[in-house]
């Protein structure tokens, strides 16, 4: 079946209103949960084959997140789908006012390779909980996981409800040429712009979950050992191939040497002195990305790691000391296990570095100085951030997850995911037991009364 036919099939299915049947949706979500649990070992194997991801990281960042989004959706679908009554306006008295959450219709979800299970299935769960149909285009760079996602989806859903289209640029280009009711894209900024342009042709709303150069400021007032431990986790989980990983550090000059010492110790503790043999350290996704990363390495600046192996796309956790802002590693998002350490002395230095880049997806600060933290939180624009740790804001479904400016448009997770995939439709039910004559012409002598009514307006 070609892409336009598949899309038409989904449109026809959406028009039957089957996707508005809460019981049907709830059962589908439950079947998906059961299938994921049944295939747990296969999921571990697929991620291991794609880039040597450990079972622990696969559960933490892929399976666990998808299952908790599923549990939340199963528990709340009924409540979320109901029209929400809101306080009416005095101007409309008497009336009852509602917000209806209306599914958009047929949705396209395009996923990246770095968390290939979670970043395709979590948006899909939100999309179908909201009553849409969905076509998912997983990444072509993780064939084992993408095929497994297809297996799972095909087993649980009829293709008129949820379907997978595999492929790379040509297939995605063909998908983007169609008219969708919503597009949800996770990936790089340049491709995000391609998606936004394609969507604009059809006035299709989009969520764009993109990336950026995420700063991490360390002023030395927090314990440096704990700082280093949390940084090493955040930077080297998934071998640094995480959109919200700290990209570079900005440490107060006088604490740099001590921080570096702690970082080296923590890297060795986590991955031993030979990370290539560590069962917990993943590989770079492919040779092209390994080449992209090794071009960033500058031997004069490397103070830890730097080793790589072209045969299995290994790149050691690496620290670079004070690369200049015009060096390769400081140009674009690193998206790999290289940690540049820059220093600052004044708040002006921080500003000069951060403002060199577009608004980041994530922002981190390690500090016990409340005033300093408060200032940073309001001074800089970023998608989401953490004080005294990294990445953990992702783990709370009550927090919106998304970017701002170049790092993205829109947000999701939990209830917000449901909202993302629904149009919030305003409905006012006017009462007939009273009909205040004031608004009707002729208006002579009514202006004063009108003004006083606006004073009641809240």
**Residues identified as active-site:** 209, 243
Give me Rg for the CA atoms of the chain.
25
Q: Which is nearer to ligand NAD, 111 or 234 (CB)?
A: 111
Instruction: Enter the tokens of residue 393.
Output: 């804001």
Distance, CA of 141 to CA of 122 (rounded, Å)? 19
Q: Is 188 or 327 the residue whose CB approaches ligand NAD more closely?
A: 188
Size of the site for ligand NAD (CB under 6 A): 27
- Residue 408: CB minimum distance to ligand NAD, A: 6
- Alpha helices, DSSP H, located in 98-182: 118-129, 143-156, 169-176
Give the per-residue contact string, 223-262, with ligand NAD (x = CB under 6 A; - = no): --------------------x-------------------
Q: If you write DSSP's letter for every residue of 378-411 in order, what string do you get?
A: HHS--SEEEESSSSGGGG-TTS-B---GGGEE--
* Per CB under 6 A, 187 contacts ligand NAD: yes
How many Å apart are CA 348 and CA 16, to the nearest integer?
59
Secondary structure (3-state) at 148: helix
Helix axes 64-81, 118-129, angle to 10 degrees: 10
Here's the x/- map for ligand NAD, 146-175, by CB under 6 A: it reads as ----------------------xx--xx--
Tokens of 262: 């702690």
Is 183 in contact with 204 (CB distance < 8 Å)? yes
Q: How far is the CB of 366 from ligand NAD (least distance, A)?
A: 22
Query: Which value, to the nearest 10 degrees, does the dihedral of the CA atoms of residues 125, 126, 127, 128 take?
Result: 50
Instruction: State in angstroms the smallest separation of the CB of 227 from ligand NAD.
Output: 24
Instruction: Show contacts of 152-157: CB within 8 Å, 24+ apart.
Output: 152/32, 152/35, 152/36, 152/39, 153/124, 155/35, 156/28, 156/31, 156/32, 156/35, 157/28, 157/32
| Contacts of ligand NAD in 95-134 (CB under 6 A) | 110-114, 119
| Nearest approach, Cβ of residue 187 and ligand NAD (Å) | 3
- For residue 69, state whether it binds ligand NAD (rule: CB under 6 A): no
In the list 54, 81, 186, 313, the residue contacting ligand NAD (rule: CB under 6 A) is 186
Which residue's CB is nearer to ligand NAD, number 97 or number 328? Answer: 328
Measured torsion, CA atoms of residues 387, 61, 51, 360, in degrees rounded to the nearest 10: -40
How far lies 17's CA from each of 20, 42, 151, 425, in Å? 5, 34, 26, 17
380 binds ligand NAD (CB under 6 A): no
Q: How far is the CB of 394 from ligand NAD (least distance, A)?
A: 9
Kindly tell me which residue out of 125, 164, 210, 218 binds ligand NAD, with binding defined by CB under 6 A. 210
SS3 321: strand
Mark 321-360 with x for binding to ligand NAD (rule: CB under 6 A) and - for no binding.
Answer: ------------x-x-------------------------
Q: How far is the CB of 392 from ligand NAD (least distance, A)?
A: 15
Query: Is residue 188 a contact point for ligand NAD (CB under 6 A)?
Result: yes
Report, in Å, the least distance between residue 170 CB and ligand NAD. Answer: 9
Nearer to ligand NAD, 194 or 387 (CB): 194
* Binding positions for ligand NAD, rule: CB under 6 A: 110-114, 119, 137, 139-140, 168-169, 172-173, 186-188, 191, 194, 209-211, 243, 333, 335, 361, 403, 408
């Amino acid at each position: 079946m070609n892409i336009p036919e598949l899309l038409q099939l989904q449109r026809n299915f959406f028009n039957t209103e089957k996707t508005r049947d809460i019981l049907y949706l709830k059962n589908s979500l439950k079947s998906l949960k059961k299938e994921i649990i049944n295939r747990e070992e296969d999921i571990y194997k697929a991620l291991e084959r794609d880039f040597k991801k450990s079972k622990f990281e696969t559960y933490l960042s892929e399976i666990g997140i998808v299952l908790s989004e599923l549990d939340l959706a199963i528990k709340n679908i009924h409540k979320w789908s109901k029209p929400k009554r809101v306080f009416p306006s005095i101007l409309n008295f008497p009336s009852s006012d509602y917000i209806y959450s209306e599914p958009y219709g047929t949705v396209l979800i395009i996923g990246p390779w770095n968390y290939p299970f979670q970043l395709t299935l979590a948006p899909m769960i939100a999309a179908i909980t909201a009553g849409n149909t969905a076509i998912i285009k997983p990444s072509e760079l993780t064939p084992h996981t993408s095929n497994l996602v297809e297996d799972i989806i095909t087993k649980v859903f009829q293709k008129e409800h949820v379907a997978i289209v595999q492929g790379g640029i040509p297939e995605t280009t063909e998908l983007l040429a169609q008219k969708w009711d919503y597009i949800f894209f996770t990936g790089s900024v340049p491709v995000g712009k391609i998606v936004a342009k394609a969507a604009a042709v059809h006035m299709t709303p989009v969520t764009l979950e993109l990336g950026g150069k995420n700063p991490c400021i360390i002023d030395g007032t927090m314990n440096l050992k704990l700082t280093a431990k949390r940084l090493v986790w955040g930077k080297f989980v998934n071998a640094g191939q995480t959109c919200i990983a700290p990209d570079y550090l900005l440490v107060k000059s006088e604490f740099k040497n001590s921080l570096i010492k702690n970082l080296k110790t923590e890297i060795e503790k986590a991955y031993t002195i030979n990370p290539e043999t560590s069962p917990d350290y993943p590989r770079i996704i492919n040779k092209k990305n390994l080449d992209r990363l090794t071009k960033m390495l500058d031997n004069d600046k490397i103070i830890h790691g730097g080793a790589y192996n072209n045969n299995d796309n290994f790149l050691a956790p690496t620290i670079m000391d004070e690369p200049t802002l015009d060096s390769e590693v400081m140009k674009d998002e690193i998206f790999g296990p290289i940690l540049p350490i820059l220093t600052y002395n004044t708040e002006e230095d921080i500003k000069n570095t951060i403002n060199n880049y577009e608004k980041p997806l994530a922002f981190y600060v390690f500090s016990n100085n409340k005033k300093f933290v408060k200032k940073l939180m309001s001074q800089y624009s970023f998608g989401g951030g953490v004080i005294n740790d990294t990445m953990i804001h992702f783990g709370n479904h009550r927090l919106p997850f998304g970017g701002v400016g170049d790092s993205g448009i829109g947000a999701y997770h939990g209830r917000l995911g449901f909202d993302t995939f629904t149009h919030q439709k305003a409905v006012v039910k006017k009462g007939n037991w009273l009909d205040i004559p004031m608004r009707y012409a002729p208006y002579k002598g009514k202006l004063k009364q009108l003004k006083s009514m606006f004073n009641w307006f809240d």
